[in-house]
């Protein structure tokens, strides 16, 4: 009897376990992650429609989609005065038009990468929608490249615009006939163009007007007109409409120095797949070379005015003019303040005025009325003087309720901390606030001998244009060791802050431990500036040359260097930017290309090396694409250049 009961209980338990296992709900294992972009299944009207007369577009996809920053990415060519509204409607993207469409015109709607699927975020790259209000779809194209004129980097947020009207005033007053964006490699392409003669421009549009109408907009222009003929058809044939994968590749040629471009068939290698789920991903974009090249620049300001004024520190005020005043006055005063309450310093070109407040009763005020007199160009273009009363404010940060009162120390920088200085290099002291005359009785310089030290004479010299800088002049010898000692309070500033004591050992490095670079410059007649740069294009030093020959850069630290040449066409010893008003292009530049096509364009120097390289500078505006790619991700590949200050 007991055995039967045990067996029954065992069978009952097993049955319960089986029932629970069968009833358990679990998530499906799923499949491979969806990596394909949305696919267009239908559109109204059809992409490529002719004789269109409506005011709405609807593009239906095979899945739910979202718009990504579409306000910035969406473009229409030719541009419309009233920008269309782009919106989501289920699995469709809708476009509502507010402008009246022009007759017999082909319209291209560029979505770029502004459409992606809802779930995985797969992007539909470079999608465009085309229709014509006439019986023909214009099918010609214009291709090219645009670069920053000074560093040959790719400019950011730049548009390429094209006008049928050839007068210079058109780009300032009217909307262009065609517009396109520049890709990450500087390549641009304008499709669906009708035959004709055009003007081609590049523009970093500051006010979204599609016009070059602001003095701080970066701009590029072609010297000659662009003639578009049926022979310049860069559009590959459309893919066949069937459920297969067909890839049509158009040829693309890499840029070769000295050639304008590759002209006909200069098209991207394009995946024209009739996409479906499971299709391969589109290939990564590559740098292409088009037919035309544009060099974008920031023009010099022509009107005199006050650009800005600020008081970031309680005891400092700064005023900046648009242009150097040259021989004209740039004056400052504070009503009621004595002559010792402040002092002023001008920049090298006198377009920046820095005011140091030295009276504590003055700089402790949160608001100070100042009077400024400076050159000013009125609306009629007449240059005269303008006097402004400018209120300068400074709000001190709120101090914590409980705080320990600490004596504020005066700190400054010097070039001795590495323990070495180069032969002939001057010892420099820099601070953030103006120096007071140092107490030289507390400052000592010694030559360190084997068992003792010998006191040396020196001179401390104040920079004539910068109150925050001092130079120490003395006679130093290579290979010897020295000790610089400054007791506490030996250095101070005008705000009664005093330095701590410091002691620094240093020596003059042997010249043979440095590197030397010699460049043999050939194949150009005219003035040129040879600039030595670091890996981030920061200027280290430069040499000026009037003819071919050798130029030497001695005493270089080991590392990687770049070299840039500025073709100084006007002989003013600096890079000169462009001017559309006078049709002056910016002065060309070029980068050292390396000894051959397989060698790196950056020059590596190791300790003790003396390297000599030959450089044919006959090719203007050349930069190895590898240098451009290496700079991607650094701050501005398109760094704004202050023209005329290089």
Q: Mind spelling out the 3-state secondary structure of 36-74?
A: CCCCEEEEECCCCECCCCCCEEEEEECCCEEECCHHHHC
How many structural domains does the chain have? 4
pLDDT at 215: 87
The pLDDT confidence band at residue 188, using thresholds 50, 70 and 90, is very high
**Domain extent at residue 602:** 513-630
In a domain, 221, yes or no: no
Q: CA 293, CA 588: separation in Å to the nearest integer?
A: 13
Contact yes or no for 60/94 (Cβ under 8 A) = no
pLDDT at 233: 63
**121 φψ region: left (φ > 0), alpha (ψ -120 to 50), beta (else):** left
Whether the per-residue pLDDT at 6 is higher than 50: the answer is yes
Q: What is the C-alpha R_g of the chain? A: 34
Of the residues 393, 422, 438, the one at which a domain ends: 393
In a domain, 2, yes or no: no
Question: Do 504 and 528 reside in the same domain of the chain?
Answer: no
Question: Do 504 and 564 reside in the same domain of the chain?
Answer: no
> What CATH number corresponds to the domain at position 357?
2.60.40
In a domain, 172, yes or no: no
Question: Do 523 and 614 reside in the same domain of the chain?
Answer: yes
The pLDDT confidence band at residue 408, using thresholds 50, 70 and 90, is confident
For 632-640, what is the mean pLDDT?
39
Strands (E), 341-456: 342-346, 352-357, 367-377, 383-393, 413-414, 420-421, 427-430, 443-448, 453-455
Question: Do 472 and 521 reside in the same domain of the chain?
Answer: no
Question: Do 517 and 622 reside in the same domain of the chain?
Answer: yes
Of the residues 132, 159, 183, the one at which a domain ends: 132
Q: Give, in order, the Cα–Cα distances in Å from 453 to each of 1, 245, 415, 426, 444.
A: 111, 83, 22, 22, 11
Question: Do 543 and 576 reside in the same domain of the chain?
Answer: yes
Question: Do 560 and 504 reside in the same domain of the chain?
Answer: no
Whether the per-residue pLDDT at 132 is higher than 60: the answer is yes
In a domain, 224, yes or no: no
Nearest to 528 by CA among 573, 576, 482: 573
Q: Which residue has the higher pLDDT, 458 or 279?
A: 458
Question: Do 383 and 428 reside in the same domain of the chain?
Answer: no
pLDDT at 29: 52
Question: How remote is the C-alpha of 77 from its chain's centroid?
Answer: 26
pLDDT, tens digit (0-9, with 9 covering 90-100), for 34-62: 778 999 999 999 999 999 999 999 999 99
pLDDT, tens digit (0-9, with 9 covering 90-100), for 85-114: 999 998 999 999 999 999 999 999 999 889
For 476-494, what is the mean pLDDT?
94
In a domain, 155, yes or no: no
pLDDT at 481: 93
For 389-394, what is the mean pLDDT?
96
In a domain, 594, yes or no: yes
Question: Do 499 and 517 reside in the same domain of the chain?
Answer: no
> What CATH number corresponds to the domain at position 547?
2.60.40.1120
In a domain, 384, yes or no: yes
In a domain, 267, yes or no: no
Which of 78-82, 265-269, 407-411, 629-633 shows the highest mean pLDDT?
A: 78-82
Question: Do 91 and 49 reside in the same domain of the chain?
Answer: yes
What's the pTM value of the predicted model, to 2 decimals? 0.79
Of the residues 132, 167, 183, the one at which a domain ends: 132
Question: Do 503 and 526 reside in the same domain of the chain?
Answer: no
pLDDT at 72: 86
For 292-312, what is the mean pLDDT?
95
> What CATH number corresponds to the domain at position 52?
2.60.40.1220
The pLDDT confidence band at residue 399, using thresholds 50, 70 and 90, is low
For 344-363, what is the mean pLDDT?
94
Q: What is the mean pLDDT of the chain?
A: 85
Question: Do 611 and 554 reside in the same domain of the chain?
Answer: yes
């Amino acid at each position: 009897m007991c055995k039967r009961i045990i067996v029954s209980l065992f069978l009952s338990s097993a049955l319960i376990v089986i029932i629970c296992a069968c009833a358990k709900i679990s998530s499906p294992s799923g499949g491979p992650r969806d990596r394909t972009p949305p696919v267009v299944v239908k559109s109204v009207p059809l992409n490529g429609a002719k004789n269109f007369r409506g005011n709405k577009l609807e593009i239906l996809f095979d899945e739910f989609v979202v718009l990504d920053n579409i306000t910035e990415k969406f473009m229409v060519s030719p541009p419309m005065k009233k920008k269309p509204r782009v919106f989501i409607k289920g699995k469709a993207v809708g476009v509502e038009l507010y402008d009246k469409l022009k007759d017999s015109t082909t319209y291209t709607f560029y979505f770029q990468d502004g459409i992606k699927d809802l779930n995985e975020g797969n992007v539909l790259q470079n999608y465009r929608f085309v229709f014509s209000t006439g019986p023909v779809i214009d099918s010609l194209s214009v291709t090219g490249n645009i670069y920053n004129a000074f560093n040959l980097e790719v400019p950011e947020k730049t548009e390429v615009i094209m006008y049928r009207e050839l007068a210079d005033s058109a780009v300032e007053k009217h909307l262009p006939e065609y517009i396109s964006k520049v890709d990450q490699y500087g390549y641009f392409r304008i499709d669906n163009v009708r035959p004709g003669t055009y003007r081609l421009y590049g523009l970093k549009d500051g006010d979204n007007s599609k016009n070059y109408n602001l003095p701080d907009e970066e701009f590029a222009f072609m010297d000659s007109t662009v003639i578009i003929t049926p022979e310049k058809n860069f559009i590959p044939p459309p893919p066949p409409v069937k459920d297969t994968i067909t890839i049509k590749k158009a040829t693309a040629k890499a840029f070769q120095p000295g050639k304008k471009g590759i002209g006909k068939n200069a098209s991207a290698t394009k995946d024209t797949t009739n996409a479906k789920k499971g299709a391969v991903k589109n290939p990564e974009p590559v740098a292409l070379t088009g037919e035309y090249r544009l060099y974008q620049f920031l023009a010099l300001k022509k009107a005199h005015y006050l650009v800005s004024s600020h008081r970031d520190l309680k005891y400092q005020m700064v005023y900046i003019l648009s242009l150097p005043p040259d021989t004209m006055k740039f004056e400052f005063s504070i009503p009621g303040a004595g002559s010792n309450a402040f002092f002023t310093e001008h920049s090298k070109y006198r377009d920046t005025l820095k005011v140091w407040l030295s009276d504590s009763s003055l700089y402790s005020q949160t608001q100070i009325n100042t009077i400024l007199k400076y050159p000013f160009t009125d609306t009629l273009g007449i240059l005269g003087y303008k006097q402004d009363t400018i209120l300068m404010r400074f709000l001190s940060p709120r101090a914590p309720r409980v705080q320990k009162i600490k004596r504020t120390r005066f700190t400054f920088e010097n070039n001795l901390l590495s323990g070495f200085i180069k032969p002939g290099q001057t010892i420099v002291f820099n601070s953030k606030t103006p120096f007071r005359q140092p107490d030289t009785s507390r400052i000592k310089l010694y030559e360190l001998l084997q068992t003792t030290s010998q006191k040396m004479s020196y001179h401390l010299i104040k920079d004539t244009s910068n109150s925050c800088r001092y130079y120490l002049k003395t006679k130093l010898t290579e290979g010897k060791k020295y000790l610089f000692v400054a007791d506490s309070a030996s250095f101070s500033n005008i705000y009664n802050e005093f330095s701590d004591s410091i002691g620094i050992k240093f020596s003059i490095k042997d010249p043979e431990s440095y590197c030397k670079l010699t460049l043999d410059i050939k194949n150009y007649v005219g003035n040129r500036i040879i600039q030595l740069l670091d890996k981030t294009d920061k200027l280290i030093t430069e040499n000026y040359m009037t003819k071919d020959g050798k130029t030497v850069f001695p005493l270089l630290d080991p590392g990687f260097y770049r070299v840039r040449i500025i073709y100084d066409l006007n002989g003013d010893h600096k890079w000169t930017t462009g001017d559309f008003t006078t049709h002056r292009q910016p002065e060309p530049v070029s980068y050292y290309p390396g000894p051959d096509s397989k060698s790196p364009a950056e020059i590596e120097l190791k300790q003790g090396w003396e390297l000599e390289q030959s450089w044919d500078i006959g090719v203007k505006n050349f930069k190895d694409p590898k240098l451009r790619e290496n700079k991607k991700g650094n701050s501005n590949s398109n760094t704004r250049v202050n023209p005329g200050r290089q």
